[in-house]
Amino acid sequence: MTKKVALVIGVGTSLGSAVARGFAKEGLTAVVARRSGEELTTLKKEIEDFGGICHPFSLDARKEEDVTNLINKIENEIGEIEVAVYNIGANIRFGIKETTSQKYYKVWEMAAFGAFLMGREVAKKMIPRKKGTIIFTGATASVRGGDGFAAFAGAKHAKRALAQSMARELGPKGIHVAHVIIDGAIDTPWIQKLFPDYVKEKKKIDGLMNPDDIAKNYIMLHKQPRNAWTQELDLRPWVEKW
């Protein structure tokens, strides 16, 4: 129970994994969660290979009881949550005519409701300690809607508003709440597979976002002195139009 915990919810093979590795290298115990927890085996080994500690879990972040139980389990059996990151993306594109109520609701659940559940439950643990960091991953859609992204933009706007409200409430209680806008394509296996020519051209000019470089900003946010906290951080490659 002497170890402090970095909880990362929404851990794929890209940014979520990079954030977890980054905090583990800082000496925090990485607790990582995704829908299919068995897919976290590789990340666990990577972290343990450099001497870190990693606890993987399966989690449906849309289910209130499951989120509450996981956070209680971490606090009771692993350690105090010092930093929590909500990284579930839910980036799905549908034309408005094809956006069923079920699709819209599911995207909102993944991107906004799950963020609320994690934020609320972690805040309950951090408030008595008067310290901690809560970080939400945003996107271009957090600040403007795009063609075919009505559901995604609505959910991401909601998450941004959640982060702002929590920051105003929890900042005076010693808890740093930040929202990170990722405005650009991240170098991932998924992007490489779907858009090989795009990736090739962008890599020539250092125009893809590197997950490890993005993750350094999350660690920076956690380490910021409280007299100079960042509430929102806007990241994009140098060639990205905005």
Residue 90 lies in a domain: yes
Q: Over the stretch 71-113, which tens digit does the pLDDT of each residue have?
A: 999 999 999 999 999 999 877 788 898 989 999 999 999 999 9
Q: Over the stretch 18-42, which tens digit does the pLDDT of each residue have?
A: 999 999 999 999 999 999 999 999 9
Cα dihedral value 97, 101, 103, 106, nearest 10: 160
pLDDT at 1 over 80: no
* Region 141-158 average pLDDT: 92
In whole angstroms, how large is the CA radius of gyration of the chain?
17
pLDDT computed for residue 241 by the predictor: 82
Name the residue with tokens 């709440």.
177
Indicate the residue type of 98. Answer: E
pLDDT at 45 over 70: yes
pLDDT at 193 over 60: yes
Residue 242 lies in a domain: no
User: Which strands sit side by side in the sheet containing 175-182, from one edge to the other?
Assistant: 54-58, 29-34, 4-9, 80-86, 132-139, 175-182, 232-235
CATH of the domain at 136: 3.40.50.720
pLDDT at 60 over 80: yes
CA-to-CA separations, 92 to 61, 146, 158, 159, 230, in angstroms, rounded: 17, 12, 16, 16, 29
| Range in 105-114, 193-202, 208-217 with the lowest mean pLDDT | 193-202
Residue 217 lies in a domain: yes
Residue 87 lies in a domain: yes
Share of the chain above pLDDT 70, in %: 99
Residue 240 lies in a domain: no
Q: What is the mean pLDDT of the chain?
A: 94
Calpha distance 149→156 (Å, rounded): 10
Rounded to the nearest angstrom, the gap between the alpha carbon of residue 190 and the centroid of all alpha carbons in its chain is 18
Is there a contact between 179 and 217 (Cβ–Cβ < 8 Å)? no
* Region 158-179 average pLDDT: 98
Calpha distance 177→198 (Å, rounded): 34
Residue 144 lies in a domain: yes
pLDDT computed for residue 2 by the predictor: 56
- Element spanning 235, H or E: strand 232-235
Could you tell me the residue range of the domain that residue 209 belongs to? 4-235
Cβ-based neighbours of 213, under 8 Å, separated by 6 or more: none
pLDDT at 133 over 50: yes
pLDDT at 212 over 50: yes
Residue 241 lies in a domain: no
Residue 198 lies in a domain: yes
Number of domains in the chain: 1
